Chains A and B, each alone.
Chain A
């Protein structure tokens, strides 16, 4: 062989070797549709971001694999009286830069999370006073009892006071920042992983934290995160073995992934409830051919709409079986008594009769607003709804639009400009009160201006509001659950909203990886084990 041939052979051999070399066994590669935009844990309250931060930051309390609240940086807590909580902090915990974790950091984080520019204002009540008792004990004083205080703390992570002050990051990086903040590009948490490098929107590398206080439940030394926005590319990357975990797998690709032999799809019900809303507030609908009155103010029309929509058909045809039809505006995992409710079956004849009684025997026209890039198959669901309502004579003009335009139009800042719409909601506190207050509460309550802000339909029942206020401060769980049940019953009796389903989680996981799937769709890789090769 000549020198040139030798060289060529060597190059080919090297290329083959590189192509065939397996990924190092304890490095987990993960790709998500969304990206990790800011490392500042108070900038954006959004599932993917919170889940990423959870690898490096921790809160006082955490949630286990079944979403039950468990101790994290607080070892234990007690309520001395309904407005006075005491937290005992874990000792010997160190931030990634070596600073010790103490009560001062809790007080600092409580101020920072409630400062201007934080997106987590609703997670920690503004009137709660945090008091340092000693270095490892913190008291929280409330102005009114709040039984769900610690469930609201989801996603509120503790930051290092000294580090934040040193790096001029005392205030959260506001959305309108003009200079980049140090905390947006660097992290210093107490969590099981340390971010080694972060290139926003390109790649983030997490290294295991050898000094973590807990006992690791994973066998990873490194996590490499890459956002891959294109569905086809993300699935291809999983199938070719270049990544180990992807979220989400598009519904139409699930079968292919399962058939590939290299990866499987993990499905499970998600906490988000998808529902339809009908504008009941205006005297005349913005987008309809009915003038001078609002058909949705007539309870019979709302009932007819409800009964015309066949959620089982949506589940089988649009969602390919991957949804759980819902009777309530909250996921069953989040409310103990949800099994007491069943969803009325679709009933076209009944619906037609109701429409005739209401004086709309020939139906009417209405425009439906629908996002087309926010929820699983959102536009397809709306399309199905259009067909179903046509059967009772309602001509729906579908306006499916990207989320940027959609939310700009239908939310409060856009003036609730919609007559009929589809929306999804996960209660941030994972508690029914959030739904009763934000979606089912009356708008324009002078005493509580944030009540009903997500109530785009403008539904209002003072009785329900009164119950919601009692539910907020009731500490007896059994009594509280009964009141929640009562409140939901009122909303159902009023045909306030049309709940459709909880969509399914859809994670693509390599056969080499074992993972725990949590219903809040947070991909938490500190519970992942990857098979050694």
Chain B
């Protein structure tokens, strides 16, 4: 197990280095950051001085080595636009994104599994067909459109929910949470739905398909033959066995939920890391872009690792293979 984890961690470092190299190669095409930092009538001499002091004139290899030497010590530099350390900015924005992503994932899992199980067991009912229709909408409508539709319905027309922001937040240490205030909870509803809808439909369709597959297998027939209750067969045996792929997908999707919260955060002006990243791209704020991409790749490799370990918990057969690799 230890060897397995170690091997995975070395791979993770490789992945992050690769992400860093690709990112740095792309920053060259993002434009000139100095233009975004000064007014248009700033003299060329001033601009050149800033370029030099930022180290933008160094060869890309030098820039990259310099950045990684610092990043390894958790020094991500100072944001060009805010003149604040990137690490502080990310730390300040992280709670917003994580709360949103967690709420969206919980929402997606609870409703996705319930709807999936229902539409697998009661395939021909009207409700199951309605769920299928909803899932089609969720999969085909782009996120920003759903967000804007929700805003126009619930904020502008009905006036029930706030159209932007996080509402009042409460500070617990450095963590700022919107979960403890009414306005914070209200502000969370629409972004969570917008962000979670796609995952929800995905989980629903997956659970439905897996469940139908499992219900056809021999051991379910044997279970029926043994006279077990339908409830025990469906939830004790069938559902449990559909959960392996669901865990994989949800786990991997949690990474995407964080990474792709970008669009939802932009639509709802949600002050999270995704919004910070979008603003950084527009302003060629390389330190923020680099740190964000590294962080996202770190999240992905961590989630992959956790999912692999979770497999062994759910499926004992895998434990044997890992401890005695072939």
Contacts and interface: CB of A to CB of B under 8 A. Distances in A.
Given A176-B53, A226-B269, A404-B284, A44 B39 contact: yes
Interface in A365-424: 373, 402-408, 411-414
A409 to B, nearest CB: 8
A233 B279 contact: no
A229 B265 CA distance: 11
A19 B275 CA distance: 26
Given A230-B266, A414-B32, A180 B163 contact: no
A239 B269 contact: no
B271 A201 contact: yes
A200 B37 CA distance: 15
B67 interface: no
B269 A227 contact: yes
A516 interface: no
Given A44-B39, A121-B43, A236-B152, A15 B182 contact: yes
A233 B266 CA distance: 9
B60 to A, nearest CB: 16
A227 B284 CA distance: 18
A233 B42 contact: no
B82 interface: yes
Interface string B164-205: 110000000000000000110010000000000000000000
Nearest to B75: A178
B148 A43 contact: no
B302 interface: no
Contact of A45 (B39, B44, B48, B156): B39
A361 interface: no
A229 B278 contact: yes
B7 interface: no
Nearest to A414: B32
A407 B83 contact: no
Interface string A448-464: 01100110000000000
Q: DSSP majority for the A interface?
A: loop
A14 B182 CA distance: 9
A242 B155 contact: yes
Contacts of A227: 269
A310 interface: no
Nearest to B85: A180
A397 B148 CA distance: 34
A413 B44 contact: yes
Contact of B283 (A232, A242, A404, A428): A404
A449 B46 CA distance: 12
Contact of B77 (A178, A242, A450): A178
A414 B48 CA distance: 11
A316 interface: no
Interface in B1-47: 29-47
Given A173-B83, A200-B84, A121 B53 contact: no
B50 interface: yes
B36 A43 contact: no
Q: How large is the interface on A (under 10, 10 to 19, 20 to 34, 35 or more residues)?
A: 35 or more
Contacts of A201: 82, 271, 275-276, 279
Contacts of A450: 43-45
A445 B46 CA distance: 17
Interface residues of B, number: 62
A119 interface: yes
Contacts of A407: 31-32, 35, 40
Contacts of A230: 266-267, 269
B81 interface: yes
A181 B78 CA distance: 11
Interface in A256-286: none
A482 interface: no
B162 interface: yes
Given A200-B89, A233-B151, A237-B163, A413 B39 contact: no
A355 to B, nearest CB: 32
B266 A438 contact: no
Contacts of A199: 92, 271
A30 to B, nearest CB: 13
Interface in A221-258: 226-230, 232-233, 236-237, 239-242
Interface in A178-234: 178-181, 184-185, 199-203, 226-230, 232-233
A78 interface: no
B80 interface: yes
Given A185-B84, A200-B89, A233-B151, A119 B78 contact: no
A233 B83 contact: no
A180 B151 contact: no
Contacts of B84: 180, 184-185, 200
A145 to B, nearest CB: 22
Interface stretch (A34-42, A51-59, A102-110, A333-341): A34-42
Contacts of A37: 81-83
Nearest to A19: B160
Interface in A411-447: 411-414, 425, 428, 434, 438
Contacts of B33: 404
Contacts of B283: 404
A318 to B, nearest CB: 23
Interface string B267-288: 1110100011011001110000
B41 A233 contact: no
A3 interface: no
Closest 7 pairs (CB-CB, A-B): A404-B31, A408-B32, A176-B53, A45-B39, A407-B35, A202-B271, A412-B44
15 contacts: A19-B160, A37-B81, A40-B83, A46-B39, A175-B34, A176-B53, A184-B84, A236-B155, A236-B156, A240-B163, A242-B164, A402-B282, A403-B36, A407-B32, A454-B41
Interface of A: 14-15, 18-19, 31, 35, 37-38, 40, 43-46, 116, 119, 121-122, 173-181, 184-185, 199-203, 226-230, 232-233, 236-237, 239-242, 373, 402-408, 411-414, 425, 428, 434, 438, 449-450, 453-454
Interface of B: 29-51, 53-54, 77-78, 80-85, 88-89, 92, 148, 151-152, 155-156, 159-160, 162-165, 182-183, 186, 266-269, 271, 275-276, 278-279, 282-284
Given A180-B88, A407-B32, 10 more contacts: A14-B182, A35-B279, A37-B81, A175-B37, A179-B78, A237-B163, A242-B163, A434-B41, A453-B44, A454-B40
